[in-house]
Structures are given as C-alpha cells and as structure tokens.
Structure 1
Amino acid sequence: MKGIDPMRRAVEETTSTAFLEVQALYHIVNLIGSAVHLDTALASMLKVLHDTLRMERATLALLDETGSQLTIRASYGLSVEEEQRGVYGLNEGIYGQVFSTGSPFVVPDVHSEPLFLNRTGARTRISKATLSFIGVPVILAGVTVGVLSVDRLFGQDISFEEDVRFLTVLATLIAQFLSLNRAIRQDREQLVLENLSLKEKLHGRYHRHQIIGQSKAMQEVYWSIERVAPSLATVLLLGESGTGKELVARAVHDASPRKNEAFIKVNCAALPENLLESELFGHEKGAFTGAAVTRIGRFEQADRGTIFLDEIGELPLLLQAKLLRVLQEQQFERLGSSRTQTVDVRIIAATNVSLERAVALGAFRNDLYYRLNVVPIHLPPLRGRREDIPLLLDHFLRSSNKRNEKNLRMSREFLDFLTDYDWPGNVRELQNLVERLVILATNEVLRVEDLPEYLVRPESGRIPPAMETVVPLAVPSPPPASRKSLRDLEREQVESALIRNGWVQSRAARELGLTQRQMGYRMKKFDLQRPDY
C-alpha cells in the first residue's frame, strides 16, 4: 500500500505473526492437556502449524527403539507410504545434521542443498525453487531425541529467525509431552506389574478356585480338586458343618470339562421324604395329588453337568436305592412314569456325619456308600487351619463393610482372640459372627468386648446361634454315671479324630498334633480298628 511507512508495515507484520504464533501455541497446549493417544496428539499439533501458520507440511522424526536411526513418528501433509520412507541414519542428510549437532538447520532453497535428501518424495509436487526447509532438534533432559521440521513457501529475502525461534519453543513442548507420556507409560507398566503381583498373592490367598486359605490343610484340598476335577469320578466331600463343602463342589465342577454345563445343588435334609423324590427325579402330571403338570427333576436339569447332593447322609433308604441305580446305570424313572430316563451326570456328594457309622446303624446302604466314596476329600475344620482365620476375617469384614456401608477395622486383641477360638461352627459361624458384629457395631474398631458372651465365656453354656441347627446323625450316648478317667478321655479323643477324618491315620494325627507313629501307638494301645463292613 502506497503512503504507508515501511517501519510501520514491519511492525504490523511482526505483530500479526506474533499473534498467530500465540494462537498456534494455545491450540497446541490444549491438545497436550487433553491428549489420550500420543501419535494422534502429535499429528494434531503438526496440523496446527499448517492451519494457523500456513506451513506446507511438518514432520516429527524420533529415535526408534534400537536408537540407531530416526523414523517419522508423526506428520502433516505426508501419506502413510511417504512416512514409511522417512528413515534416516543419525549422521545422514539434514535430519542427521540437526540431530548430531543439536542445532537448527535452515534450507532457503531445497533445490540447491546437497544435504536435502527428499527421501519421502513428498516435495515433487511443489516447485523446489520456492520451497524452504527448517529443522530444529527435539531435546529432552539435554539429550537430542528427534528432529522437528517444516516446509515453507518463501522468497529469497525472507528471514527465518522468527520461525526457528517458534519451532524451538514448540520442540521444547513436544519434548516435555514425550517425557510426560513416557512417565505415564512407565507408571502404567508398573501398575500392570503390581497388578500381576497382587494376582499372584491373591492366587495364594484365594487359590484359583476362589476359596480363601493358604494353610497346608487347604493346600491338600486344592491338590485333590486339581487331581479329581478332570475325571468323571464321583466325589465325596467329608467334613464338619460349615467347612465350605459347597464351595469345593463348585470348584470341582468349574475345573472339570463340564464347567460350561449346569451345576445343580440339592440339600437332601431340606425337603421332606415325600417331596424329595419328586425334586430329584421329577414327576408326571397326575402322579400324586397336586401334580398338575409334568415336572423334570434335578437329575434331568443336571444332564451333561454336575449335581451336588449336600447332606447325603439324610437321604431316605428308598431314595438311596434309586440313587444307587443312577450311579450304576445313569438311569431312573420319574414318579408316575414307566419310561426310563437316561442322563449323563457327575455326582458330588457331601456329608457332615460318619457314613460308616450310619451304615453300621442301618441308616445308610453299604453298597451306596462304597459307590459314593470313590474319591473322598476331607475338608479340615477351622480350628485345624488357624493360619487361615485372619484371611477369612479380613475377607468377611471387607464384604460386610461394603454391604452395610461401613468401614470397621479389627483390633489386634480381637484378631488374636478369634484366631485362638475353636470355632465349632467353622467358617459359616465365623461369617455369621462378622456380619452380626458389623451390623450392631457402634464404634469404628471391633474389640474383644464386642463379642457375644458365648465366645468370651464358653462356660456360660449357651449354644452359639450358628450351631443351634446342627443335628449330627448319631445315636446320643447316655450321660456317664461318674467322671471318666484320663485314659477314657484320651481314647475318646483319638477315636473321634479318626472318625472325623474317615479313619485316615495321617489326617487324624495332624488334627491332634501327633506324629503318624504316635497315632499308631495310641490305636494299638486303645485297640482302635477301622470298622469292617
């Protein structure tokens, strides 16, 4: 424009350029602040150079993983094929010059510069006489890690100082962004490692079957599960009430080839005899009063899967015969039907009473017992795995806190007291106690004085709530006429341990804290022999 002072024009152009540079930096900083993916964010930054500062194309070349060459990590104005061709040695061409010296490099006319390689082939579409190139180093913690470059359509009389200054600032921002991304990636990798470490710890704490416990007794149970699960063998779970037999049954099923099929559970003591047969085997319409429709039983529901028969010792003798047939032939008839049903079912049974004693009393069929007792797994009582009690307490307290929206903790004395307690109701009693304490708690810390009286003062004679419904299958012995001798008490203790452990001497010895040789001596001393039926 005529009449305008050249100095004023220069000032206005400088002001306009500065404004555009600030605007570009504003957009780039926003991109860094909201970045989710590194490469996408870098490409968006380079696009800002074109949109705001009218630079033709831009590239960011970084050291590759080997540290032996520069490769284009992000670009604007290049195709994927052109990017892939952009590979440079550390001392090769202009990129190598900028990288090795750590200083900017300006090419006013790429046509006359022998160091300009045009390896990507992206500049053939523009006259080289009008094309300029600017490259600046990307420096992180004093070490050059890459090169930022742009192309400009310039005349020979244009000064490049402003562009070099701006691109150096941008290269510094990119270096910090790379550093931040690297730190995030390292943190993420650390979190992954910590997660794996936690999973390993949980593997020891919960094992692979989501059963809590890492004691030697529970390791034996886990070993048995792993060995028996792949087979088709019938499993008999032995142990006191509340020791977690259903969890073990589920673990056997989940670790078996049938894991994707049905897992059906039936409590044989929960239904009266006249309904239990229909529950197990189903019935036809009109088979009895109230049978308005045909109903399939639990065995049919478990076809190709697993059926868990809990408290099998409570099964009536008539149904024991039918169950024996299912075990032997995988066949049965529904109530009111003469049609034979064939199923493919794996049976897992459980009992908290001595089936051997039940056989001796005539309450359980001898042949069924031996059919069920193919692979027995004994679940230890909680008092036999005291090292697991703190783990169980922690698990139940966390779960109950979450359900009841509380944040209770345990005192050291509280934990020690419950670890030393004998737990006649086993894990179920422990779980119920924790739930009750959390619900009734008025303080943030559970203490010994918060425990019910029957735990703190067992001589009070009160039956703990968790044990009120436990009725063993045994004929009660008459009360002694006089105090028993120490020999009689010792004999009863040894015999009871043998019965609880299915007459497996090693397990009974472990429960009593004896060696196997000491157990053998006591069996001989008291003339204790496994019943032969």
Structure 2
Amino acid sequence: MATGDREQARRELVEAELEALYHVGQVLARSLDLRETLQAVLEVLHEQVGVHSGMVALRDPIRGESIVRALHGRVPPEEVSYRPGEGVVGEILAAGETVVIHRIADDPRFLDRLGLYAAELPFIGVPIRAPGEGEPPIGVLAAQPSSADAGMLAERARLMEMVANLVAQTVRLASRVGSEQAALADERDQLRREIQGCYGFENIVGRSAPIRRVFEQVRRVAPWSVTVLLRGESGTGKELIANAIHYNSPRADAPFVKLNCAALPDSLLESELFGHEKGAFTGAVQSRTGRFEQADGGTLFLDEMGDISPAFQAKLLRVLQEGELERLGGSRTRRVDVRVLAATNRDLEAAVADGSFREDLYYRLNVVALRMPALRERLEDLPELAGFLASRIGAEQGRELTVTDSALRALMRYRWPGNVRELENVLQRAAMTRSRSSSSGSLGSGAAGWVQAKAARLLGMTPRQVAYRIKTFNIPLKEL
C-alpha cells in the first residue's frame, strides 16, 4: 500500500474509532444489565472498526479465573474459563499487559477454546484494568481484526485499550450494584422471614374454642385466592388475622397492602385505590399507582369496608368481578391480580336490607366469612393475652412487666366493649404508673401512691375518669 493510501486509511480508521468510542460511551450508559451491555460494545467494534469475534472474559474473584461473559453474535458457552497464565487470555490476566499476535497460527500460546478465530489473521487482547494502582486486571477484552495489515494493529490495540478502560468502570459499577442488590435481597428475605414468623399461628395468642375455630378457618382459606370477609367488633384482631392469611398463603412473597376505607372520602378513596393520572385533579402533578396496582400479585386488605358509600361500591364491584380498573383521569384499562381481604364491624345484612350496601357487592365480598369473637366471648384467653401484652409493653420500655393476680381478677370481671385493643390500652396506662426508673414491676400495684389525682395526671386523664375506671375494674382502695 502506498504511503498516501496508508495515511488516508489511517485517517479513516481514526475517524471510525472516534465514532466508535462515542457509541461505546452511549452503550455503557444505557443499561446496568452487564451481559447485554458487553454484547452491545462488541457489536460496535464489529460494525464500526472491523474488529470481529469480540470476547470479554471477567475474573471470578473467588476462583481467580477469567470466565467468558460475552461473545459477539452468540451466547457464551458455559464455563469457558482461563486460569492466570493459561494461554493468551490467561497471560494477559496474569501480566496485565496488552498482547498483539500478528498471525494466530504462529503462536503456540493460543488455545482457541471458543473455536472462533481464523488462524491466518491477527489477534488482539487487552486487560480490563480496575481503577487504582497495583490492582490486578478484572478481565480481558479480545478480538480479531479483519485485516492482516501489521501497520494498523497498534492503532486497533490502542482503541481496544480505551474501550477496555470504559468497560472497566461499567464492570465495577455493575459489580457494586449487584452486591448492593444481593445485600438488599438478603435483608428483604430476612425481614420477610421475620414477618412471616410474627404472623404464624403460633404467635396469635389464644387457646379458647372460639379462637381455635378461627385458626382452623384461616388454615383452610389461606392457600386459596378466594375473597375473605373478616367480621367482628372493633378491636378483636381482624387485621392480625388478615396478616396471618396473607403470610401463610402462596402470595406471602408478594406485596401485602392495607387501606382503612373509613378514613377517606370518596374522592380520595378512588385515587388511593385506583390511582390517578397527571392532571386528573387540582394538585395531581404526577401520575400515581393506586393500592390495587401496588398489590398486584399479592393481597389487598380493605378495613372498614362497610363504611364506603353506595356510589363508590359500584366502582369497587367492577374491580372485584373483572380484575380491571382505570386510574382516575385515565382511559387505559389495567388488569390486576389481587386477593382481597375485607373487614367490617357493621351488620352488612341490615345494610343490604336498608339499601345502604349493594347486595351484589355483599355477595362478592362474602365468599368466605370469618367471625372474630369478642374478648368477652373468650375470657379464658385473657390471662394469656394480658401476660403477652404486658411483656410486649415492657420490652418497648426496656424493663420486665407482669400482671398481678389481683389485677387479673379485676380484668376478668370487666366486659371489654373495646376488646383486645382496649385491654392493651388499659395495660399501657397501667404501665405508666410504674416508676420509669424501675427495671421491673407488676401491673396492678399503686406507682401513684394511691392518690387518685396523681394517678390522673400520670395517665393523662381527669380524676373523674380515674374514679370511673376504679369502679369499673373493682380496684380496692387503700386508706392513707
């Protein structure tokens, strides 16, 4: 080739290389899927600068070998690897230096385990160096130029070194992201196991016949995706049972989303459940997914279902029947796969009779009904419940708390209209009467020195309220 022609070819190659480097930068910024990104880099080298049969091998930090992770135009064979010093690739990994072979057939180091390369053509391999001085290469970038022109090999090797430097940053970033994702996944799985442990049947306190019947029903319905209606007075633990159903079901690894329907007016309830599009109403500055979409594949717990308006009941019915919804302000129909657990303390049959609750929605929700017994119906569980709650309150306060026999006798004589929630509130207030400096104590003793006015101040109540509780619980008074 004449000198002028060679210079023209070199200029054209340099221009192509600059264009290729630009596209490599774009490719590396596009995705954190490492294999997909490396394949795209090899495609740029193949299409734009005539460097073919590209290969990337990355060092396994545990084994120390370089394992082929990407090949141009094909999926890498499983477990094709090179030990440091083994073959050309292993030599590059060990020495950290670029290797240029003018003719593969003349170099006995070349192993050609991949069966890709033409023996009569050159081969270039460059180290993928980790940022920082003295660190060993993290891999090798190798390819075969389409021309045997020795004068162009140095230029192509320089280009591949620049590409390898760009690739190194992406590999390290992907490795760091992968490590963080693995750590997050481990933490998620650990938290999931802890949550599932917290909501196992053995952690729901109670041995009475009414609560055992509930446990048996939960065991039967948990494996299936049927809608469950949890009924019972406020404070009986309907949400706790909903948790048990979800975390003992095949959907346990999917989202468990909750919403108290009574806490929101219709306009906000629709947005919360179905989501909204940007501009759907004043203040909707961006689109938002609703609880149904958030729970897709998992479970949605709708508390206080009996309090939603008849107008909204019709909108909810469609989602339950068809599994379809539109976001507020949108027209696109979205499908969701959600198991619904609903809870109410209302008499839905009476609500259907007086027209305040749709009959078709009632039957859609009432596929399986579980009734939570009131605490007064299972007073035999009260000592165990009180002990469990006292222990939990004590743990929160960093001390040991127990319930005295006299306090238990008083608790057993009460009717508990607020059920377990009221019991917990009473024990929390009783715990406040214990000295904060005390490392342990028994709930039921006098910490206010038997002075009702002082007890009222400690509890944040009026003396009249304290006197009412003393009478209600039949607490004996001490004469001072």
TM-score by structure 1 length?
Answer: 0.46
Task: Please say if residues 408 and 445 of structure 1, whose CA atoms lie closer than 8 Å, have aligned partners that are also in contact.
Answer: yes
Specify which of 339, 346, 358 is matched with residue 339 of structure 2. 346
Task: Count residues in correspondence.
Answer: 257
SS at match of 1:353: coil
The separation in 2 between residues aligned to 1:261 and 1:218, in whole angstroms, is: 27
SS at match of 2:253: coil
Specify which of 371, 378, 394 is matched with residue 364 of structure 2. 371
Q: Which moved more, 1:205-214 or 1:266-275?
A: 205-214
Task: Please say if residues 386 and 420 of structure 1, whose CA atoms lie closer than 8 Å, have aligned partners that are also in contact.
Answer: no
Task: Please say if residues 210 and 378 of structure 2, whose CA atoms lie closer than 8 Å, have aligned partners that are also in contact.
Answer: yes
Q: Over the residues paired in the alignment, what is the CA RMSD in angstroms?
A: 2.3
Partner of 2:387: 394
CA gap 1:320/1:296 in 2 versus in 1, 3 angstroms = same
Q: Deviations over 1:374-395 (max 9, x none)?
A: 1000000001111111111111
Partner of 2:396: 403
Task: Please say if residues 320 and 364 of structure 2, whose CA atoms lie closer than 8 Å, have aligned partners that are also in contact.
Answer: yes
Specify which of 455, 458, 470 is matched with residue 469 of structure 2. 455
CA gap 1:440/1:272 in 2 versus in 1, 3 angstroms = farther
Partner of 1:327: 320
CA gap 1:344/1:206 in 2 versus in 1, 3 angstroms = closer
The separation in 2 between residues aligned to 1:206 and 1:336, in whole angstroms, is: 38
The separation in 2 between residues aligned to 1:285 and 1:376, in whole angstroms, is: 38
Partner of 1:355: 348
Specify the structure having the higher radius of gyration (Cα): 1
CA gap 1:212/1:281 in 2 versus in 1, 3 angstroms = same
Shift of 1:327: 1.1
Shift of 1:206: 8.9
1:271 aligns with 2:264: yes
The separation in 2 between residues aligned to 1:447 and 1:258, in whole angstroms, is: 43
Specify which of 242, 245, 251 is matched with residue 235 of structure 2. 242
CA gap 1:373/1:209 in 2 versus in 1, 3 angstroms = farther
Partner of 2:330: 337
CA gap 1:206/1:212 in 2 versus in 1, 3 angstroms = farther
Task: Please say if residues 229 and 370 of structure 2, whose CA atoms lie closer than 8 Å, have aligned partners that are also in contact.
Answer: yes
Q: Which runs of 5+ in 1 are unaligned?
A: 1-202, 461-533
Partner of 2:279: 286
Task: Please say if residues 411 and 473 of structure 2, whose CA atoms lie closer than 8 Å, have aligned partners that are also in contact.
Answer: no
Shift of 1:433: 1.2
Task: Please say if residues 207 and 213 of structure 1, whose CA atoms lie closer than 8 Å, have aligned partners that are also in contact.
Answer: no
Shift of 1:421: 1.4
TM-score by structure 2 length?
Answer: 0.51
Q: Deviations over 1:77-111 (max 9, x none)?
A: xxxxxxxxxxxxxxxxxxxxxxxxxxxxxxxxxxx
Shift of 1:408: 3.2
Q: Deviations over 1:237-260 (max 9, x none)?
A: 000000000010111111111111
Q: Which amino acid aligns with 2:469?
A: L
Task: Please say if residues 241 and 426 of structure 1, whose CA atoms lie closer than 8 Å, have aligned partners that are also in contact.
Answer: yes
Q: Which moved more, 1:420-429 or 1:302-311?
A: 420-429
Partner of 2:377: 384
Partner of 1:297: 290
Task: Please say if residues 301 and 342 of structure 2, whose CA atoms lie closer than 8 Å, have aligned partners that are also in contact.
Answer: yes
Shift of 1:207: 6.4
Shift of 1:399: 1.1
The separation in 2 between residues aligned to 1:239 and 1:455, in whole angstroms, is: 25
The separation in 2 between residues aligned to 1:296 and 1:342, in whole angstroms, is: 13
The separation in 2 between residues aligned to 1:287 and 1:364, in whole angstroms, is: 28
CA gap 1:207/1:298 in 2 versus in 1, 3 angstroms = closer
SS at match of 1:347: strand
Q: Which amino acid aligns with 1:447?
A: G
Matches within 5 A, 1:141-156: none
Matches within 5 A, 1:99-178: none
Q: Which amino acid aligns with 1:416?
A: R
SS at match of 2:262: coil
Q: Deviations over 1:469-490 (max 9, x none)?
A: xxxxxxxxxxxxxxxxxxxxxx
1:445 aligns with 2:445: no
Partner of 1:417: 410
The separation in 2 between residues aligned to 1:334 and 1:209, in whole angstroms, is: 40
CA gap 1:218/1:342 in 2 versus in 1, 3 angstroms = same
Q: Which amino acid aligns with 1:285?
A: K
Task: Please say if residues 238 and 377 of structure 1, whose CA atoms lie closer than 8 Å, have aligned partners that are also in contact.
Answer: yes
The separation in 1 between residues aligned to 2:445 and 2:232, in whole angstroms, is: 29
SS at match of 1:269: helix
Task: Please say if residues 214 and 372 of structure 2, whose CA atoms lie closer than 8 Å, have aligned partners that are also in contact.
Answer: yes
Q: Which runs of 5+ in 2 are unaligned?
A: 1-196, 448-454, 456-465, 475-480
Specify which of 214, 220, 237 is matched with residue 221 of structure 1. 214
Task: Please say if residues 401 and 408 of structure 1, whose CA atoms lie closer than 8 Å, have aligned partners that are also in contact.
Answer: yes
The separation in 1 between residues aligned to 2:327 and 2:313, in whole angstroms, is: 15
Partner of 1:68: none
Partner of 1:307: 300
Q: Deviations over 1:308-349 (max 9, x none)?
A: 000001112222111111111000110001111100000000
